[in-house]
């Protein structure tokens, strides 16, 4: 069984993240995961999304699961921790957890399935071995 590194990004709740009920709208949590992944792709894996685009490749999300534990509110800070859970022929599953700062209490956790696609066609393409190796740290 492969074990992959976990990486962290710290983010803050923005005023426009707040919904009618005065906490972060559920859709924003996926935005936080995406922002963390973009940061971590560049900072930790040394292969940012721009590199994929230059190769004519992109990542499409095919599914997402979120387990909500407690809400975030305006002004809260959080740590978004992500890691690759496993690879498939054409993509990977990225697991995540979000913790509130400074308490460290879990806000939510879950996973997103991604497929690597050729941008020109929008179709899934086999994951090149060099990309798998770069993301297998």
**Nearest to 72, CA basis, from 45, 46, 100:** 100
Q: Say whether pTM exceeds 0.85.
A: yes
What are the chain's domains? 7-134 (3.10.129.10)
Give the C-alpha distances (Å, rounded to integers) separating 9 from 12, 98, 114, 127, 135.
10, 10, 20, 25, 17
User: Rounded CA gap, 50 and 58, in Å?
Assistant: 9
Beta strands in 7-105 (DSSP E): 7-12, 57-68, 77-87, 91-101
* pLDDT digit string, tens, across residues 55-114: 999 999 999 999 999 999 999 999 999 999 999 999 999 999 999 999 999 999 999 999
Contact 102, 67 (CB under 8 A): no
What pLDDT does 21 receive?
93
Residues whose CB falls within 8 Å of the CB of residue 60, separated by 6 or more in sequence, listed in order: 114, 115, 117, 122, 124
pLDDT in tens, 13-55: 999 999 999 999 999 999 999 999 999 999 999 999 999 999 9
Q: Please write the tens of the pLDDT for every residue from 84-93.
A: 999 999 999 9
Per-residue pLDDT, 1: 60
């Amino acid at each position: 069984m492969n074990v992959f590194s976990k990486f962290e990004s710290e983010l803050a709740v923005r005023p426009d993240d707040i919904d009618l009920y005065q906490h972060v709208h559920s859709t924003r949590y996926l935005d936080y995961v995406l922002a963390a992944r973009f940061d971590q792709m560049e900072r930790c894996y040394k292969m940012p999304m721009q590199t994929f685009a230059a190769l004519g490749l992109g990542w499409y999300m095919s599914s997402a699961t979120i387990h909500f534990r407690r809400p975030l509110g305006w002004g809260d800070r959080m740590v978004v921790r992500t890691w690759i859970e496993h690879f498939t022929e054409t993509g990977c599953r990225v697991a995540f957890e979000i913790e509130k700062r400074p308490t460290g209490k879990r806000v939510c956790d879950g996973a997103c399935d991604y497929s690597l696609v050729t941008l020109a066609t929008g179709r899934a393409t086999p994951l090149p071995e060099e990309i798998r190796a770069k993301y297998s740290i």
